[in-house]
Amino acid sequence: MNSPEKEFLVKSEWVSASNIALVKYWGKHGNQLPANSSLSMTLKNSVTRTIVRLVDSKIQPKTQFFFEGLAAPDFEPKIETFLSQIIRFFPFLKNYSLVIESWNTFPHSAGIASSASAMSALALCVSSISGEMQPGGDNSKIFSRRASEIARLGSGSASRSVFGGFSVWGKTSFVAGSSDEWAVPLDFNVNPVFSEMQDSILIVSSAKKKISSTAGHHLMNAHPYAEQRYRLAEKNMGLILNALKSGNVADFIRVTENEALGLHSLMMSSDPGFMLMEPGTLQIINKIRDYRERTGAFLCFTLDAGPNVHLLYPASEKENVKDFINGELLEHCERGKVLWDEMGSGPVRIA
């Protein structure tokens, strides 16, 4: 194994978190442009740490990737494709190779999408290196926007992880400055009821996904409900932004759960169709709704393109929800597995 500690010119290190979408991105066109705008919450604990070293291509002719300390050549073709996409932003890359090392805090087999944290961390590292290669250094005004655009080319959802809190990717009439090319943070302070949101990820199954999200997005091209879906997403975006502003918890719950089940109904009704929920997913959802009805507590669920349930609630409900999870939900989780996460404040550059 070649050592990652090659003679390097510039080095950059970032830690970036995964995110969970509340309004879902599902369907894309052109060069990684979304069919509708999406809104997500950046997490805190589910992070990727990435170090990128820039090496003269005469010393190291090809990009190398190390995952959790081991050479991982299987990922290199995907990274090469990504680098060929971003070379127009960073022409200096033509003369250099990258040595990339990455670590995840969450287990590889936990069924958690890692592309958002991984691609945002990589995009931030390359953007920082580019800043250092230029005489004036970083242009911080557009640094995050540019990094978000680069991250998007690696994975759409990664564009949103460049910002902390809630962020929006995709042009929407409800957010000034929103764009299909990069994500933006919200331009208002969210109501305090949403300021310390928790996300407990109930691992129903850690099995590999039955369909990649990229393949799922493509199925939307011929989906009979596509146009209605894109209209509904825009309506839900307006509703959830208003809820985040005004503190309307009922609307927040309504939209979040509608988007989660809407995503899965699109997957079920595509051709071919996919059922990604497991019996445990439905049992958990029913128990969450029942608990909410019984107690009036603020908690709700969302789903990614898989069977695991993200249970969302404010910090003030922490103790009660912990008892609820331990008492009623753990039995539906694979080996009782839960990832305890919460809203995070965005990527951090390690000096």
CA distance 129 to 24: 32
Would you give the binding string for ligand DP6 spanning residues 252-281, x where CB under 6 A is met?
Answer: -----------x------------------
Name which position in 12, 18, 37, 38 contacts ligand DP6 (CB under 6 A).
38
Find out whether 156 and 32 touch, Cβ atoms under 8 Å. yes
By CB under 6 A, what part of segment 298-317 binds ligand DP6? Answer: 304-305
Alpha-carbon gap, residue 302 to 308, rounded angstroms: 9
Residues 186-245 touching ligand DP6, rule: CB under 6 A, are 213-214, 217
Indicate the residue among 55 and 312 with the shorter CB distance to ligand DP6: 312
Of 24 and 53, nearer to ligand DP6 (C-beta) is 24
Sole window of 21-29, 128-136, 188-196, 288-296 interacting with ligand DP6 (rule: CB under 6 A): 21-29
Contact call for residue 113 and ligand DP6 (CB under 6 A): yes
# residues near ligand DP6 by CB under 6 A: 16
For 85, residues 6+ apart whose C-beta sits below 8 A from its C-beta are 31, 153, 154
21 binds ligand DP6 (CB under 6 A): yes
Q: Does 156 bind ligand DP6 (CB under 6 A)?
A: yes
For residue 210, give the 3-state DSSP assignment: coil
> In this complex, which beta carbon is closest to ligand DP6, that of residue 63 or of residue 155?
155
Q: What's the rounded Cα separation, in Å, for the pair 302 and 281?
A: 11
* Residue from 15, 16, 17, 24 in contact with ligand DP6 (CB under 6 A): 24
Using CB under 6 A as the binding rule, whether residue 25 contacts ligand DP6 is answered as yes
Q: Return the structure tokens found at 277.
A: 């929920």
Q: Judged by CB under 6 A, which stretch of 133-141, 151-159, 173-181, 318-326 contacts ligand DP6?
A: 151-159
Nearer to ligand DP6 (CB atom), residue 244 or residue 321: 244
Shortest Å distance, C-beta 157 to ligand DP6 = 3
Angle, CA of 16, 309 and 112, to the nearest 5°? 35
Tokens 């390359």 correspond to 126
In terms of C-beta distances under 8 Å and separation of at least 24 residues, what long-range contacts does 260-264 make, across chains too? 260/24, 260/301, 260/302, 260/303, 261/303, 262/24, 262/229, 262/232, 263/24, 263/26, 263/303, 263/305, 264/303
Which region holds residue 214: left if phi is over 0, alpha if psi is between -120 and 50, else beta?
A: alpha
Q: Are strands 38-56 and 96-104 parallel, antiparallel or unpaired?
A: antiparallel
| Residues at the site binding ligand DP6, with contacts judged by CB under 6 A | 21, 24-26, 38, 113, 115, 155-157, 213-214, 217, 263, 304-305
